[in-house]
Structure 1
Amino acid sequence: MSAARYYVSGKVQGVWFRASAREQALALDLRGYARNLADGRVEVLAAGDAAALARLEIWLRRGPVNARVDALAREDADGAEAGEGFVCS
């Protein structure tokens, strides 16, 4: 199992980014969460198959229709933080 934490910058709050990321993650059988950060970014923690994480990362680079992704930062993460399922907070 692999895990990664992503920080997405741009117009990513108030455009259904977290809910859309959840849909993508669930379709890829990933666990984790998506949450808004106080600085305007969205944090996504995902754990699961490495190929599924790569596909999620591709999606995170563009986001949903109304979003504008300016930057995506990725760091390795501990899969134990992901919990069960995929939640938005």
Structure 2
Amino acid sequence: AFATLIMSMMPGFAKDKIKFWGPKELLEQVDEEALPDFLGGTCKECYRRVPKGAMDIYYIAKRDFDLDTNEVDKLMEPSLKHLDTENWVEVEHV
């Protein structure tokens, strides 16, 4: 719905440059081995890396909300079941 709204406000020449593809059309344009799994490909490259310099959730929670580690863990617990932890990398936090 949002895309339809935005597209309705765009001039024709701009709309012609935008394509929405499903998995079949995408695989006609890009090799399966070059696409990550969530786009229907088989690429094994790890695309879920934490960006260099990203702040630790515990640091942010302490700095912005004065929460300790146990409070953060308790808040995060319900969400953990939705995360793909197969390639999970634990890092020490301050």
Is the shorter-chain TM-score for this pair beyond 0.5, marking a shared fold?
Answer: no
| TM, length-normalised to structure 1 | 0.27
Q: Which has the higher helix share?
A: 2
| TM, length-normalised to structure 2 | 0.26
Q: Which has the higher strand share?
A: 1
